[in-house]
Amino acid sequence: MKDQIEAIQAEALARIEAATDTRSLEDARVAVLGKKGTLTEVSAGMRDVPKEEKAAVGALLNTARNAITAALEGKQQGLQDAADKKSLEGIDVTLPSRALHHGSLHPLTILRHQAISILRRMGFALAEGPEIEDEFHCFDALNTPADHPARNEKDTFYFDSGKLLRTHTSSVQVRTMESQVPPVRIIAPGSAYRRDEIDATHLSVFNQLEGLYVDKDVSLGDLKGTLEYFFQEMFGSETEVRFRPHFFPFTEPSFEIDVKLHVKGQDPRWIEVAGCGMVDPAVFEAINASRKNDGAYDPAKVTGFAFGMGLDRLAMIRWGIKDIRLLIENDARFLKQFA
């Protein structure tokens, strides 16, 4: 039996050495170590070996199996190395590698961070609230009458429960005044939703940033100076800003703010970017009622201003983007400009 084991080992090692690919190497392994392999069959005969020879024959079997296994592993590594070397033939490893493209923040994220940074330096704190709102916080508390077009299902996304997707982040201002006493100076960036027809300057889901300042003796001059400073910090000291009289239910007097948009190859044009005004006393009265008439927002004692701006439109001005839809299309050719 010893001679048989030695012969199997020698034959197996020779066959492994002669293998030229992984298929022939696998065939050699199965022929020797498989379920019906020659060494496996010899091992099964150990039960017939005399007791005094079992130790020697067993040791010889282990030696043969270990030698064959090591030869298989060595040959497998050799075949793999040869295949790797062949795959590299004709490749000049001294050539410089291809440049890796670096990612970047989305332009809206970049602009949002810049806007928040400017307003934080001016003393405004961040505030947030839910995107799914009720009519009180989105409309009633903001002096919006029941027949106002914004409350129509054609303009606002309503749920069967009666709740709605907020049409502005002004609802955050209401919730802040419900929970805090003056002075209040906050900004509320976030998403807003309206049933607008999507075109070059409108989206049904857009990014808004609203601000509120309530204290004693807050004036219209404070509002104008704050927003002019903000837009000139955002777009440069030469930025042209225009205030147009307007109407909003929650501010009086009210204004819309335009900034002149410069797009290469086109004539400069004014584009609306914000609405603002002095907080209407009716809003303070609604807040007082919600606060159980504690008088914290007595319109005879406090005044305030509020503003809201579309970050998407600010991005159009910041980078001269001619179509707002480019900001949501995820076109890498457009976005890589900001990398």
pLDDT in tens, 218-231: 999 999 999 999 99
- 5 has a pLDDT exceeding 80: no
Same domain, 281 and 143: yes
Same domain, 123 and 61: no
DSSP three-state, residue 123: coil
Rounded Cα gap, residues 247 and 266, in angstroms: 31
* pLDDT of the residue at 44: 77
* pLDDT of the residue at 282: 95
257-288 tens-digit pLDDT: 998 877 677 788 888 889 999 999 999 999 99
Query: What residues make up the domain containing 301?
Result: 107-338
Same domain, 217 and 254: yes
- Which class for 137: exposed (0-12), middle (13-18), buried (19 or more C-beta within 10 A)? buried
Out of 33, 58, 87, pick the residue that ends a domain: 87
pLDDT tier, 291 (very low <50, low <70, confident <90, very high otherwise): very high
Do you find a cis peptide bond into 253, omega within 30 degrees of 0?
A: yes
Out of 59, 87, 115, pick the residue that ends a domain: 87
* pLDDT of the residue at 1: 66
Q: What percent of the chain has pLDDT over 70?
A: 99
252 in a known ligand binding site:
yes
Q: Do residues 306 and 250 make contact, with C-beta atoms less than 8 angstroms apart?
A: yes
Report CA Rg, the chain.
39
Same domain, 208 and 116: yes
Same domain, 319 and 197: yes
Same domain, 112 and 70: no
Q: Which residues are within 8 A (CB) of 257 and not within 5 positions of it... i.e. 6 or more apart?
A: 227, 231, 241, 242, 243, 244, 272, 273, 274, 275, 276, 307, 309
- 290 has a pLDDT exceeding 90: yes
79-93, 189-203, 215-229, 311-325: range with highest mean pLDDT: 215-229
pLDDT tier, 77 (very low <50, low <70, confident <90, very high otherwise): very high
* pLDDT of the residue at 244: 94
Residue 98 counted as domain residue: no
Q: Higher pLDDT residue, 332 or 278?
A: 278
Q: Higher pLDDT residue, 158 or 103?
A: 158
98-135 tens-digit pLDDT: 887 777 889 999 999 999 999 999 999 999 999 999 99
* pLDDT of the residue at 311: 92
Same domain, 299 and 235: yes
Same domain, 122 and 68: no
Q: Do residues 129 and 158 make contact, with C-beta atoms less than 8 angstroms apart?
A: no
Average pLDDT over residues 65-73: 89
Q: Which amino acid is at 16?
A: I
Same domain, 73 and 119: no
Do you find a cis peptide bond into 245, omega within 30 degrees of 0?
A: no
* pLDDT of the residue at 20: 87
Residue with tokens 């819309």: 256
Q: Higher pLDDT residue, 32 or 255?
A: 255
Residue 223 counted as domain residue: yes
* pLDDT of the residue at 220: 94
Residue 101 counted as domain residue: no
- Residue 325 sits in a domain whose CATH number is 3.30.930.10
What's the mean pLDDT when you consider all of the chain? Answer: 89
Total domains in the chain come to: 2
Average pLDDT over residues 163-189: 95
Same domain, 112 and 219: yes
Average pLDDT over residues 184-193: 95
